[in-house]
Amino acid sequence: MPILPTFSEENELYSQNYQLIAGIDEVGRGALAGPVVASAVILPCHAHFPWLSLVQDSKQLSPKRRELLYDLIQKEATATSTGIVPSQAIDNIGILKATKLAMQQAIEQLPHLPHFLLIDRITLPQLAIPQKGITRGDKLCLSIACASIIAKVTRDHIMVEFDKIYPGYGLANHKGYGTAEHLSCLRQLGPSTIHRRSFAPVRELIKQNEA
């Protein structure tokens, strides 16, 4: 049985008089192409939507279920927002800094400044907002799990559009991750402008072609 996220972290913060609690998560850190995308979600205090029982880490959900929950979260959350950092910036500043930048963008684009941040795995010390990094937060914390769904669906849509611009790589299928199909296409076509040249498989291919 999968672990289902709960409101325990949020409820503890509500008891300390924090009200606007944002869950933050990202997708795309390990991909070879496309952006890293982070989302922030603020759920209503003590939310009791029936669909919350369906929420899991986005990686555990089918595409159809993710799309359904994406629409419900966008409709019923207090606020949602997304930050997107492209592959060129990832190559320039590194994936960890790019991930934190995407998260910061998402937080800054919220219509209300959160009182507390619950973040999957990492923290953002550059932001003067109380926060907590939670290991496996996308599996344990409902706000973070909702953010993972918003980020995942947003990035998947971006990669489907990129598939039309950069045909032949199968981006709509693997969403830029290093699958056997993707690596085979990379060897045949070489990297596109949205491939991350600082990531080992792409970097090594470029070196081979230059040799």
Please give the pLDDT value at position 145.
97
* Contact criterion met (CB below 8 Å) for 146 and 73: yes
Q: Name the maximum alpha-carbon separation found in the chain.
A: 62
Of 98-112, 145-159, 195-209, the least confident? 195-209
Residue 151: which residues within 8 A CB-CB, separation 6 or more? 25, 26, 27, 37, 38, 39, 58, 82
Other Cβ atoms closer than 10 A to 27: 27
Mean pLDDT of 128-139: 97
Query: If you ran DSSP here, which 8-state letter would residue 118 be given?
Result: E
CA 53, chain centre distance (Å) = 21
User: No. of H helices and E strands in the chain?
Assistant: 9, 5
Please give the pLDDT value at position 181.
96
CA 135, chain centre distance (Å) = 15
Cβ-in-10-Å burial (0-12, 13-18, 19+) of 182 comes to: buried
Please give the pLDDT value at position 1.
63
Confidence of residue 208 (pLDDT cuts 50, 70, 90): confident
Cβ-in-10-Å burial (0-12, 13-18, 19+) of 86 comes to: middle
Mean pLDDT of 38-56: 94
Mean pLDDT of the chain: 96
Confidence of residue 3 (pLDDT cuts 50, 70, 90): confident
Please give the pLDDT value at position 64.
97
Flag whether pLDDT at 32 surpasses 70: yes
Name the more confident of 3 and 151: 151
List, in order of start, the domains of the chain with CATH numbers: 8-166 (3.30.420.10)
pTM (predicted TM-score): 0.96
